[in-house]
Amino acid sequence: MLYFWGMLKREQFGDDFEWGVTISAFQNEGWSDADGKGPSIWDTFTSNTSNINNADKIGHASNFYKQFEEDIKLASQMGLDVFRFSISWTRILPNGTGTVNAKGIAFYNKVIECCLSNGLKPYVTLYHWDLPQVLHEEGGWTNRQIVDWFLAYTEVCVQQFGDRVKHWVVMNEPMTFTGLGYFMGYHAPASKGIINFLKAAHHAVLCMAQGGRLIRKYIPDAQIGVALSCSYVKPVNRLPKNVRAAKRMEALLNRFFIEPLLGMGYPTDVMPALKMIQMIFKKGDEQRMHFDFDFIGLQYYFRVVARHSLNPPILFADEIPPVERKAILNTMNLDVYPKGLNKLLHFYAAYPKVKSIVLSESGVCFPDFLVNDHVYDTRRLKYHQKMLRQVKKAINQGLPIKGYFVWTLVDNFEWKEGFEPRFGLVYVDFKTQKRTIKHSGNWFREFLKGKVE
């Protein structure tokens, strides 16, 4: 083990620091058509296995729909405080709007009660990318009506679960689902084009802010946040054109959503072409776009080294591939760089309206091997130790960091990448659905009990 900056102990993070895990409905639940659930865009996208690496079929994913009690108990046995999960929109409203599915409500009631009975605080994410297919056919995130659809769905959830759930994440990684899903066409629903992206992104901002207001109306004492993806961005060198390219990349990846949500507008200072998003505005949007969030969730997975490029337009920057830079890579060939976390924590904490920060996802995928009922995932363990040292350093520097949630509890279906990338603290045999706690999971259990460094 590494003994850098002295011993690492749970109590050094403070009594109010929360330790948790995060999962998502689509990636974990499986049973996509069970008990009245309607299809989402990801059900449609993954039904064509040519869209998925290795032609993986999602099947029952990691079977959370049937094994949620086992998984929640595993999280509790590790000594965690928080179980963060998302609600599948189409389990609640199979047609996106209208009739509520009682069996879907019953399932999430059981999940919430299981969390509470096992001493875990439920953090509920309202939207983790699984848009109802019927709403996509009406334009989905590019249709301004999505604001009304999303608020109607939110209202059902807070009315049904708000008596027990006090921590809400309105949306997960809006840049990922709008950028990959509506600009690049890499993720569901496989749409492309700058106008599609700008519409989807602006409507997502409105939904996050308006959704926050709606939750506050029904649950005045709720803790409300959003979970934003972010990347540490640096220029390939100090040439002015590459420095400017890195600033534009940073604006897109790290500023694009946080600033309008804080009432600052979109980052047009370094990307003037973004002013075209104002064509989508309606009167009053400047006020509708921001909300006083209780916490900001950050999700940092990789570093970006940027350089000037003529493509894509507006951004005029691209990334030097990590393979080309001979960086340390995860299974998805992304740059593993824990030192970037502290810099990002300072970046976001510098916004005056950011009250507190939670690492709402933190994880890494490396190849795992089950040998004699053991998985010695030493690289993942060292990764989390390094990340925690960056968090501890930030806390010592006075930053308001209030939690660290591991992505993820059990191995699951990693969207377009299929089953190959394994992020879990628990190994899953996807044929038998047997769970085996990995070395990293055992370390967290002992660390949270105060027994290890």
**Cα gap 393→386, rounded to integer Å:** 11
- Told to judge if 173 belongs to the known catalytic residues of this protein, a careful annotator would answer yes
List the structure tokens of 397: 């520097």
Distance CA 176, CA 152 (A): 23
With both helix axes pointing from N to C terminus, report the angle between 378-396 and 340-349 in degrees, rounded to the nearest 10: 40
Q: What are phi and psi of 18, to 5 degrees?
A: -105, 135
**One of 29, 250, 319, 361 is an active-site residue; which one?**
361
Cβ burial of 395 (10 Å; 0-12, 13-18, 19+) is middle
Catalytic (active site) residue 11: no
Q: How far apart are CA 256 and CA 262, in angstroms?
A: 11
Cα torsion 231, 236, 241, 244 to 10°: value is 20
- What is the DSSP pairing of strand 426-429 with strand 434-437? antiparallel
Beta pairing, strands 317-319 & 295-308 = antiparallel
Calpha distance 188→178 (Å, rounded): 10
Helix (H, G, I), strand (E, B) or coil at 201: helix
The one catalytic residue in 18, 173, 319, 414 is: 173
Distances in Å between the Cα of 314 and the Cα atoms of 118, 197, 236 are 49, 13, 19
Place of tokens 């990318």: 129
Tokens describing residue 43? 């059900």
Beta bridge partners, 111, equal none
d(CA 212, CA 128): 16
Q: What is the per-residue DSSP string for 79-117?
A: T-SEEEEE--HHHH-TTSSSS--HHHHHHHHHHHHHHHH
Given a contact cutoff of 8 angstroms between Cβ atoms, the answer to whether 41 and 96 are in contact is: no
* 373: number of Cβ within 10 Å: 9
Q: Which two tokens stand for residue 387?
A: 């990340």
Active site residues: 173, 361
